[in-house]
Amino acid sequence: MKRHGRPWAVILDIDETVLDDSQYILERWQTKTPATKGRFIEWCNRRQTTALPGAADFLHEVHSLGGRIVLITNRSEEVCGATRDNLHRDGLEFDAVLCSSGGGDKNLRFVAVQKGLPPSTLPSLDVVMWLGDNIQDFPGLTQVGMREAGDDAYRDFGTQFIVLPNPMYGSWTGNPIRWGGCSAKSPLSAVDRQLGGPRICRPLSKPLAVVHRRDNLSNFPNTCCYRRVKPSASPPRHL
């Protein structure tokens, strides 16, 4: 099947889009060890990441309809082989995996797939859909840009752009939260920064504890209120 006379493809991210890394995140909590590049490389080399529900069926359907499947990930080149092994082990079909050779910007790889240029090894493809768990999995989009954009900027979501929710981590954790009189630059930080216990922003009218955080709140000098929750041996509720 060709779309508009041209071969077509679907581009997907890998982590938290077709593979589920929640075990890696859980291990960080259980061992109270922050996520680092080295620990993630070890995790990738274990080849034990499981497929997200529905991923195998979706990818098989794309192939059944005649489309190509290109996986574009910011996993580094050094774990690309292990990642392909992992995908095969989980029965996830694909035609190409493009890992990161440095930097997290995927736009050059998106264009390479569309034009059939290196690092893509496939012919020029008409990309009909992007799927990912981060705004940066979609061409030309950024967290800051979409935060400030109007509703029109979201018109392709749900059809051409499909977002899978990732409550564990992502560029969204850097978004400012404003709740009542409390402003915070990044009160919900990455999981490794939550090892001391999640902090929940509360309206100033209901202070549970008042903490001056001058480290990452220099742009918001007002006092913020946080409820400090003691770390628990049990996994976080979002896993």
Which spans of this chain sit near Mg ion (rule: CB under 5 A)? 13, 15-16, 133
Q: Which token pair is 121?
A: 């090894």
Judged by phi (left if over 0) then psi (alpha if -120 to 50, else beta), residue 102 lies in: left
Is the Cβ of residue 64 or residue 160 nearer to Mg ion in the bound state? Answer: 160
Whole-number minimum distance, CB 160 to Mg ion, in Å? 18
Whole-number minimum distance, CB 215 to Mg ion, in Å? 27
Print the SS3 string covering 155-175.
CCECCCEEECCCCCCCHHHHC
Is the Cβ of residue 110 or residue 226 nearer to Mg ion in the bound state? Answer: 110
What backbone phi and psi angles, to 5 degrees, belong to 112?
A: -60, -40
Is the Cβ of residue 132 or residue 198 nearer to Mg ion in the bound state? Answer: 132
Is the Cβ of residue 52 or residue 184 nearer to Mg ion in the bound state? Answer: 52
3-state class (DSSP) for residue 126: strand
Count CA atoms within 13 Å of residue 156 on its CB side: 13
Whole-number minimum distance, CB 71 to Mg ion, in Å? 11
Whole-number minimum distance, CB 164 to Mg ion, in Å? 8
Residue nearest to Mg ion (CB): 15
